[in-house]
């Protein structure tokens, strides 16, 4: 498994976020740090009734290695941070973001592995994407789109709590929006994000700690 240093993760996020400088902004670094800190701080227990307290961390494989040790991230864990930043940009609460990525980690990790196993030449073939399109379909950017759908159940709950699901069929995702969310929903397409991030991580060189 290829692992990446913190600076590689941050540099890749900066490039994908359209940062004007090659150096990640203070705002971006703060948002990443808050996600990672919340993940470390929240309880981890498969017996807890709290939905965010699963046996999985969102962005780490296990407990903190301690001071002086450098944490490295897998390709999936970097991908989870990217999804987390996308959710924050849509104004979902930080704790909900981390709890959702913890709960969905087994399925998201499986999808991420599958997505990266697909050939980009076929996956992003615009002619094939257009050939498969049907009237009324949601616009997609690949031949195998995967969506993370987040919504608040405004139709059936007096005090709607946000939730999230993964969909491989955009029509099913749209049906869920109609049934549950009305207009209050966020769609994050995962296939293109996964490949863009994988490419960017490879282009982000590691740096020694304490050096810029």
Given a cut of 50, is residue 144 above it in pLDDT? yes
Give the pLDDT mean for 7-34: 90
- DSSP state string for 19-73: -SSSSPPHHHHHHHHHHHHHHHHS---TT-SSTT--SS-SS-SSS---TTPPP-E
Say what the alpha-carbon torsion angle 52, 58, 61, 66 is, to the nearest 10 degrees.
Answer: -80
pLDDT of 64 reads 62
Domain ranges of the chain: 3-203
Whether the pLDDT of residue 142 is over 50: the answer is: yes
49 pLDDT higher than 70: no
The pLDDT of residue 53:
60
Q: Quick check: 55 pLDDT over 90?
A: no
Q: Enumerate residues 6+ apart whose C-beta is below 8 A from 48.
A: none
How far apart CA 150 and CA 176 sit, in angstroms, is 10
Tell me what the pLDDT averaged over the chain comes to.
85
CB 44 within 8 A of CB 52: no
Measured CA to CA, the distance from residue 141 to residue 194 in angstroms comes to: 12
């Amino acid at each position: 498994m290829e692992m990446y240093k913190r600076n590689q993760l941050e540099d890749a996020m900066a490039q994908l976020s359209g940062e004007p400088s090659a150096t990640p902004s203070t705002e971006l670094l703060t948002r990443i740090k808050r996600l990672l800190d919340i993940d470390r701080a929240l309880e981890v227990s498969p017996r807890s009734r709290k939905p965010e307290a699963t046996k999985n961390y969102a962005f780490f494989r296990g407990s903190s290695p301690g001071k002086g040790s450098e944490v490295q991230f897998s390709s999936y864990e970097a991908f989870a941070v990217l999804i987390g930043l996308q959710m924050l940009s849509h104004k979902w609460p930080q704790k909900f973001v981390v709890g959702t990525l913890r709960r969905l980690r087994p399925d998201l990790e499986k999808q991420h592995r599958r997505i990266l196993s697909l050939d980009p030449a076929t996956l992003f073939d615009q002619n094939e994407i257009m050939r498969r399109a049907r009237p009324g379909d949601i616009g997609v950017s690949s031949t195998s789109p995967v969506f993370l759908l987040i919504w608040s159940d405004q139709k059936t709950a007096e005090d709607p709590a946000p939730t999230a699901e993964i969909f491989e069929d955009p029509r099913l995702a749209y049906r869920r929006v109609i049934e549950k969310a009305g207009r209050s929903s966020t769609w994050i397409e995962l296939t293109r994000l996964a490949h863009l991030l994988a490419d960017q991580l490879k282009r982000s060189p590691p740096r020694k700690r304490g050096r810029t």
